[in-house]
Amino acid sequence: MSVKSKYDAHEEKKNMHMIRKLFEVTKLDGNFQRWGGVEKGSGWSIAASNEYISSLMSNSVFNKIIVADVECCLLYAKRERDTASEEYFQDLWDAGYKYVSIDGNNTSSTVTAFLDCHEKIYFKDIDGNKKTFADLTKDEQDDVMYTEKLDVATLRQIGIEEMCKLFQRLNVSTSLNAQEHRQARWSEMSKFVRDVSNLPEVRTMFTNFVFQAKSLDKRAHEEVVAQFAMKLSGFAKMTKPDMDKFYESTSSLNEADEKEITAILKIAAKMAAIRGTLANSKGTRFRRGQLLVLLDVIREITTTRGYKIKGYETMFKWFAKTDYDLRQAAKTVTAEDAAEKSYVHWTHQYYTRSLWERSLAKMMESFEDVEEEWVDAGHLVRKRTSADTFTQSQKEELLYLQEGQTRKGEQIDIFDLYDGKLEADHVVSVKDGGATEISNGELMYTEDNRTKGPQSSEPFFNFQQDLLDEI
């Protein structure tokens, strides 16, 4: 079955002026496409765009622009009861888009940039002279804009999943890399990976620590996040076949893993914001394996050991120094012993669980030397759990035992609890080993509790007197 009959495609030739009008109302969807185009820098190079314009001006191009008609596809999705596609196209329609790019975005972008007199986009005439659109006479400009030159296919019956698959099929022979092919699918997991990887602070972290900006346009950072997600999902390897399998078999991550990945990336982003770029004049950065070790270390400290990190700069300095020391020590390891003893080998072969676990173990040996010091200095704080939080019934009992007053003599009542004006504080703080029980509890206004912070207090009410023996 042809594309035309399968997707109810309407094919016609369009002039360059019409291509520019089309481009202005077409959505380039990062869900399944590279952020290409002249202004994005991740599609064709400027040289490739200029070569295309030169070919176009001599009527020597044969490629086709393919778009999906948003309004028609929305009606089709409703008729087919395709809820995901209906929501997708409705959102695009509400945002003012009339089309979605499936193939040929670089063409449309190049044509638009040329007509908009982009200073770097030009063609060469028969004498080899470079000419921008602004260099042409008015008659020449009109001839260029309104002479039909390009084939455009508008698909009117296609859903979002099939659109992603069609994009993959159309780009089998192109320069799309493995991760771009993986991400060209419609799933909750691929959407999460894309969205969290491209949070502004997370993108900055990747460019500060590991990648050049152009690598992000090719989804290298999304691949790192996907690899980290694979670890949490129990994969033992992160090779290309394993990653392909992960994308094929995983439609979504559980909510807890999504929250954990997001939190860890944001912690790394705070370290990047404090330290700035690692690049020196020669562009030296962490390798990907080193960044994955950092993410593993953050996860071990926060999730496994239950700390909240406060000293971002202290921790990053420690990590960078420990990483350096381990790499220096690896220089004395023989090739035969590398798999067993070399940190450099482990971080280069980061895609194997047995090796990334060794990298983490070495890091955590060093962490244990500074753990107590960091806690004392406030660089690490124990996370509160549900066991550290007073229940509503405990708060009501505290209100009764305090006879409706704070230790400052302020009158309080049950409505203050419901309105969130009061908090139940630990007299002996959780940090100092205080238990979440009535004899160690006290109601106070939120502002007072924030001012007091995590410090312990002297007992004040009669029901707290038993604490005197413990302090």
Percent of the chain beyond pLDDT 70? 92
Residue 281: pLDDT band with limits 50, 70, 90? very low
pLDDT given at position 149: 81
Residue 210 lies in a domain: yes
3-state helix, strand, coil in the chain (%, to 5): 55, 10, 30
**Residues 311 and 292 reside in one and the same domain:** yes
Does pLDDT of 93 surpass 90?
Answer: yes
**Residues 222 and 355 reside in one and the same domain:** yes
pLDDT given at position 106: 87
Residue 71 lies in a domain: yes
Give the end of a domain, one of 342, 367, 382: 382
Higher pLDDT, 426 or 214: 426
**Residues 251 and 309 reside in one and the same domain:** yes
**Residues 289 and 350 reside in one and the same domain:** yes
Q: What is the pLDDT of residues 386-427, one digit of tens each?
A: 677 888 899 999 999 999 999 999 998 888 888 778 889 999
The total of structural domains in the chain comes to: 3
In whole angstroms, what is the distance from residue 379 CA to residue 452 CA? 19
**Residues 290 and 378 reside in one and the same domain:** yes
In whole angstroms, what is the distance from residue 199 CA to residue 155 CA? 32
**Residues 225 and 311 reside in one and the same domain:** yes
**Residues 344 and 207 reside in one and the same domain:** yes
CB 360 within 8 A of CB 296: yes
pLDDT given at position 34: 65
In whole angstroms, what is the distance from residue 378 CA to residue 371 CA? 11
Residue 260: pLDDT band with limits 50, 70, 90? very high
Residue 396 lies in a domain: yes
Average pLDDT, the chain: 88
Residue 186 lies in a domain: no
pLDDT given at position 49: 87
Residue 183 lies in a domain: no
Residue 39: pLDDT band with limits 50, 70, 90? low
Does pLDDT of 283 surpass 50?
Answer: no
Residue 36: pLDDT band with limits 50, 70, 90? low
Residue 342 lies in a domain: yes
**Interval 111-135 mean pLDDT:** 90
Give the end of a domain, one of 334, 362, 382: 382
**Residues 153 and 221 reside in one and the same domain:** no
Q: What is the pLDDT of residues 339-361, one digit of tens each?
A: 999 999 999 999 999 999 999 99
Does pLDDT of 59 surpass 90?
Answer: no
Six-digit token string for 458: 């002297």
**Residues 150 and 94 reside in one and the same domain:** yes
Boundaries of domain holding 46: 3-174
Give the end of a domain, one of 349, 382, 415: 382
Does pLDDT of 169 surpass 90?
Answer: no
**Residues 314 and 354 reside in one and the same domain:** yes
Q: How far is CA 448 from CA 410, 421, 425, 445, 467, in A?
A: 12, 10, 10, 5, 21
**Residues 163 and 41 reside in one and the same domain:** yes
CB 373 within 8 A of CB 315: no
**Residues 234 and 355 reside in one and the same domain:** yes
Residue 405 lies in a domain: yes
